[in-house]
Amino acid sequence: MELLEAIRRRKTTNGHFLPDPVSVEHQQLLMELAGRAPSQLNSQPWRFVLIEERPTIEEIARLSGASMTQAMSDGTFFERYRRYFRFSEEEMQTRRDGMLFDHLPPLLRPFTSQVFTARGQKMMNALRVPRTLGEENRKLVAGSPLLLGVLLDRAEYRPGELSSFYSLFSMGAAMENLWLATTELGLGIQFVSFPMEVPGNWQLIEKLLDVPDELELMAVYRLGYLPPEQRRPAIDWSSNHRKLPSQYVFRGTCATPQTGWDS
């Protein structure tokens, strides 16, 4: 696969993976490519933990599902991220960013306009939406053959100092190398981030993974081979839209948006 094609085809998978273990060869390749990323003064502040142990995956899945149910039923999730949620193609065409919820059970469709209201929250809880989504999330994570923990060396990652920006930037670059490679290898990848939304749950994962004091757990991903037919979860979104160049590129100074490149 050409690099440019891999960049254009790279995406997040919000669906089930095949149960097949990720080959050791592919795991080794993903780690090699992540390690080729740029970092300040070649400090390579990233560390990775590859997780195939079922009990650990099941426990992280349980925490992820429970965190999603809690964050959705107490409204914090919608409050925190409402500005990214889109419910119509028209809105998405205008904004060209965020998540378009274009796959919803018929029962929920009439209520999308109320999702962010107290009444909407009450109705969603009554319809057990947070519980259903949480359980679906648990199954997605539990059904993944491989989880990947991404950590930073605290000697490099010192919040409040310039080094923390450098380390986060380098970690992002390492993950993008890995993310791009999944496209070539027929793998899917998705953040497992809901445990970050509920105080205390992230620390439970750090304990589960035996994270030492000198490292900080920054993210967890689920990975697996993509099934030929990808069945969409009951509530699903698409986020393939991107801003037009005139919306994020400037020419000469920020006073002059780049024109003539929008297609």
Q: Provide the minimum distance between the beta carbon of 196 and ligand FMN in the complex, in angstroms, as a whole number.
A: 8
70 lines the binding site for ligand FMN (CB under 6 A):
no
- Pick the binder of ligand FMN from 56, 125, 239, 246 (CB under 6 A): 239
Q: Provide the minimum distance between the beta carbon of 128 and ligand FMN in the complex, in angstroms, as a whole number.
A: 21
Euclidean distance between CA atoms 18 and 27, whole angstroms? 16
Q: Which of 53, 14, 46, 15 is nearest to 31 (CA)?
A: 46
Q: Which of 197, 198, 196, 157 is nearest to 174 (CA)?
A: 157
- In the bound state with ligand FMN, the residue whose beta carbon lies nearer, of 209 and 220, is 220
- C-beta of residue 225 within 8 angstroms of C-beta of residue 186: yes
69 lines the binding site for ligand FMN (CB under 6 A):
no
Q: Provide the minimum distance between the beta carbon of 168 and ligand FMN in the complex, in angstroms, as a whole number.
A: 10
For the four alpha carbons of 97, 180, 11 and 45, in that order, the dihedral sign comes to negative
- In the bound state with ligand FMN, the residue whose beta carbon lies nearer, of 123 and 136, is 136
With b for 16 or more beta-carbon neighbours within 10 A and e for fewer, the 187-214 pattern comes to bbbbebebbbbbeebbebbbebbebeee
- C-beta of residue 208 within 8 angstroms of C-beta of residue 1: no
Residues 175-234 that bind ligand FMN (CB under 6 A): 190-191, 193
Select from 8-16, 20-28, 74-82, 107-115 the region that touches ligand FMN (CB under 6 A): 8-16
Lookup result for tokens 């965020």: 98
- In the bound state with ligand FMN, the residue whose beta carbon lies nearer, of 114 and 193, is 193
Q: Provide the minimum distance between the beta carbon of 238 and ligand FMN in the complex, in angstroms, as a whole number.
A: 8
Longest CA–CA span in the chain (Å) reads 55
- In the bound state with ligand FMN, the residue whose beta carbon lies nearer, of 114 and 233, is 233
Q: Provide the minimum distance between the beta carbon of 100 and ligand FMN in the complex, in angstroms, as a whole number.
A: 10
- In the bound state with ligand FMN, the residue whose beta carbon lies nearer, of 14 and 73, is 14
164 lines the binding site for ligand FMN (CB under 6 A):
no
Select from 10-18, 21-29, 56-64, 145-153 the region that touches ligand FMN (CB under 6 A): 10-18
Q: Provide the minimum distance between the beta carbon of 233 and ligand FMN in the complex, in angstroms, as a whole number.
A: 11
Q: How many amino acids of this chain bind ligand FMN (CB under 6 A)?
A: 8
Say how many CA atoms lie within 13 Å of 222 toward its Cβ: 29
Start-to-end CA span in the chain (Å): 25
Q: In what order do the strands lie in the sheet with 99-103?
A: 85-86, 99-103, 236-238
- In the bound state with ligand FMN, the residue whose beta carbon lies nearer, of 114 and 239, is 239
14 lines the binding site for ligand FMN (CB under 6 A):
yes
Euclidean distance between CA atoms 95 and 241, whole angstroms? 9
Sites of contact with ligand FMN (CB under 6 A): 11-12, 14, 99, 190-191, 193, 239
